[in-house]
Structure 1
C-alpha cells in the first residue's frame, strides 16, 4: 500500500482540511490502495484541530496538527516553526516509511526543500499562485527579500518535484514561463471537489431556514458563502444587490462567512434590514444555501486569481443555484461556457452591474442542469479522478 503524506500550513479560519482535502482523500482511498497521512501546521486552537482529527479518524486518515508559533511576532514565530517543523517532518517520514510527500503551497515547500528524501517521491501542490496573491492583496512587494526568498523556494520545488498540482490551466502556463516548457508533463490540474450528497438542493429546508432568518417565503434572496476580504468582491456584490433592491425592495442578501466582522461597518444604513450576516458550522452550509435564489461567486480578477478554482462555485452549482461568477478567475470561463443559469461578470465592463441586475431580473434556469454542471466539474468523483491521474504519473 502506498503511503502519501499531505503537508499544509493553514490559519484558524479556513475549513479546507475538513471540507475539501479529507473528503477527497477519502474518496480516493475507497478505490485505491493508498494510506493517507496529513500533517497540518496551524495556529488554530485545540478544539478546532480535535474536530478535524475526528473527521480524519472517521475516514481512516492519519492526522497530526503541528502548532505554528506566533510570538514574539508572527514572522519570527513562522521562521522558528519552519526550522522545528522540518525536523518533525523528517522524523515522521522516516518513522512511517512515507512513499510520497505532498506539500501544499509555499511554507511546506520551504521545509520539504530541506528534507533528506532517498526513495520518497514529491508531488508539489502548488495550489493557486499564493505568492502573487500576497502581492495583490496583502501588500507584499516583489522587490522585498521575503518575496524573493519565497519565490526562489517555490521555483526550486517546482523543478525538483516529481509532479506538480495546480487548480487551473492558466497556472500551468504561468509556472512554465518560470521553469521552462520541458517540465510540462509533470503538471496536472486537479479539481476542488465537493460531495454531491452533502451539497444538494433541500427544498424542504427552504421554508424552515427562511422562517428562522425572518425572511418571507416570497422574498428574493441573494447569497454569498465564504471568506470576506479585499479579493472577494464585496463592493461589486453590494452594488449589484443595492441596484436590484431599488427594483424589488423586499429582496434580501444572506452572507454566510467565517469572518462576518469584515462587513460589520460596511453595510449602508438603508440596507441594514435587508442584509443578513451569519456564521454557521460547515455542516449547516447547504441548509442555508437552500434559502437562496441566486448566488455570488465574485473575486477580483487580479493576476494571481488566474491560478485559483473558486470552490464556492462548485457548491452553488451542486445546490442548483443560479450564480453570478467573475470572469478571469482560473478556468471559470471555460467551465461555465455552456451552463445556462450562470452569468459571467466582466469586471472591466462599464455595464457589468447593469447586466448582472438584468440577469437576475429575468432569471430563468433549470436547477437540474446546474447540478449536472456541478457534478461534471466539482464532484468528489471528478476530483478523485484528477488526483489519481497525478499519482499515476509518478
Structure 2
C-alpha cells in the first residue's frame, strides 16, 4: 500500500526527520510504502537536507514552497493550490492513501480527493487551532478559527481513519464532527523513539558527560531538553531547580535548547543558581548521552485545553534513557504511562513543586539504579519506536 504523507512545517521544525521517518521506515517492512509531500518556507539548503534525510529512509520526498506575503493569505492560497500537487502525485505515484498531518494539509487533501476513490487518513496530531487560541491569541470567534474548524470537522467526517495522540483528542474531534461519525475510525498512535538511540548507558559515556558539565561526583543533575518561550515555562523550571539547590547546593542543571537566548535572559533573574546552570545547544545525535547522565528530567508546559490532545515527546526520551521526570498535569493520556516513575504537578505553586522536590530526594536519589530500570521499562513499553509502529499498524490495517 502506497501512502502519501502531507505535512506543513517551518524551517526550524524537525519532526519529519526525527519522529516520522523512522516510523515510516519500519512500516515499510509491513507493506506500507510512504511518500512525503512537505509544504514549507525553508530555504533550498534546508529542503535539500530534508530530501537527503528522506532518501536515507527510502522515502521519496517532494516539497511545495509556502507563499509568505502576506502570511495568512499566502498560506491559504498555498493550501488551495496544494490540492493540485497532491492530485498529481497521487496519479504519478499510484498512491492508495493520502495522510494529511494537521489542518491546512487536510484542506489540500480534501480538495485533491473530491470524487476520487483513494482513502484518506487524517493525522490530527493534537488540536492545533485550539493551541493557537490558548497560546497565540487567535480568537475563537474569528473567521480564521471558524473556517479552519470547519475544515478540521469535514476531514474527520470523510476520513477512513483519524490518528490522534490521546483519547481526549479523539473525544473532542468525534463530538465536533457530529452525527454519523463512527468512533471506530479513531486510533490513538504513539510518538515513539528509537530505544537503541535513546537508552540507558551504564558505561563511561555518562561519567564523561558529567565531567564535561562539571557535575561533582554523586551530585544531582537535572535536565530540560526542548523549545522555550510561549507555553514552555523556563521561569518555572528555574524556580523548581532553585528548590533543588536549597536541598543540595552541589546540584546542577542542564538546559539543551535551540532558544538559548530565552534561557540566558531568564537566568539573569536567578542569581543564586546562575553558576549551577549550563545552557547549551547540541546536535540531535548528542542528546541521549546527556540524558543518560541525568537524574531528573523536566517537562514544564503551560496547561490548556489544547494540551489534552498532546503527547510530550521529551517525556518518552527521558524515560527511555532511564530518567524519571516531573511534568505538569494536563497532557492527554500521560498519567498512566508515567505512573510510578514521575511526578505530575497540579500547578506551578511552591507547594506543588516542594512536594515534587521531596519525592526526588526521598524516592529517586536513594534508589537511582532501580528507578533507572523502571523508567527504561516504561519508556520501552509506551514510547519506543516499536510501540509507535504497533499503534500505526492497528490503524492502517483497518483500511
For the aligned pair, the TM-score class normalised by the smaller chain equals over 0.9
Equivalent-residue separation in structure 1 for 2:206 and 2:319 (angstroms): 17
SS of equivalent residue, structure 2 residue 222? strand
Q: Determine whether 1:87 maps to 2:84.
A: yes
Match of 1:316 in 2: 318
Q: Distance in 1 between matches of 2:66 and 2:59?
A: 22
Give the corresponding residue for 1:142.
140
Whether the aligned pair in 1 keeps the contact of 2:27 and 2:33 (CA below 8 Å) is no
Output the CA distance in 1 between the equivalents of 2:350 and 2:140: 30
Change (3 A) 1:349 1:214: closer
After superposition, where does 1:114-263 map in structure 2 within 5 Å?
114-117=111-114, 118-180=116-178, 182-203=181-202, 204-263=204-263
Query: Unmatched 5+ residue regions in structure 2?
Result: none
Give unmatched runs, 5+ long, in structure 1: none
Q: How far does the alpha carbon of each residue in 1:365-390 deviate from its partner, in whole angstroms, 9 at most, with x for none?
A: 42122111111101111111111111
SS in 2 for 1:218: coil
Paired position in structure 1 for 2:386: 381
Give the corresponding residue for 1:67.
65
Which SS does the other structure have where 2:235 is aligned?
helix
| Number of aligned residue pairs | 389
Q: 1:369 aligned to 374, 377, 391, which one?
A: 374
Question: Who is 1:291 aligned against?
Answer: 293
Aligned equivalent of 1:333, options 314, 335, 342 = 335
Once the two structures are superposed, the pairs formed by residues 258-277 of structure 1 within 5 Å of their partners are 258-267=258-267, 268-277=270-279
Residues 216, 73 of structure 1: CA spacing in aligned structure 2 closer, same or farther, 3 A cutoff?
A: farther
Q: Deviations over 1:271-293 (max 9, x none)?
A: 22222111111111101212311
Stretch deviating more after TM superposition (373-382 or 268-277) = 268-277
Matches of 1:15 and 1:353, distance apart in 2 = 32
Distance 2:251 2:72 in 1: 45
Q: CA deviation at 1:8?
A: 0.6
Give the one of 84, 95, 99 matched to 1:102: 99
Q: TM-score, normalised by structure 2?
A: 0.93
Alpha carbons 1:103, 1:125 under 8 Å: kept: yes
The residue number in structure 2 matching 1:21 is 20
Contact 2:122 2:156 in 1 (8 A): yes
Distance 2:348 2:250 in 1: 30
Deviation at 1:349, TM superposition (A): 6.5
2: distance between equivalents of 1:250 and 1:49?
A: 44
Question: Take 2:178 and 2:394, find their aligned partners in 1: how far apart are those partners?
Answer: 22
**Pairwise CA RMSD of aligned residues?**
1.7
Q: Tell me how far apart the structure 2 counterparts of residues 161 and 275 of structure 1 sit (CA, whole Å).
A: 48
Q: Give distance in 2, aligned partners of 1:278 and 1:230.
A: 19
Contact 1:128 1:308 in 2 (8 A): yes
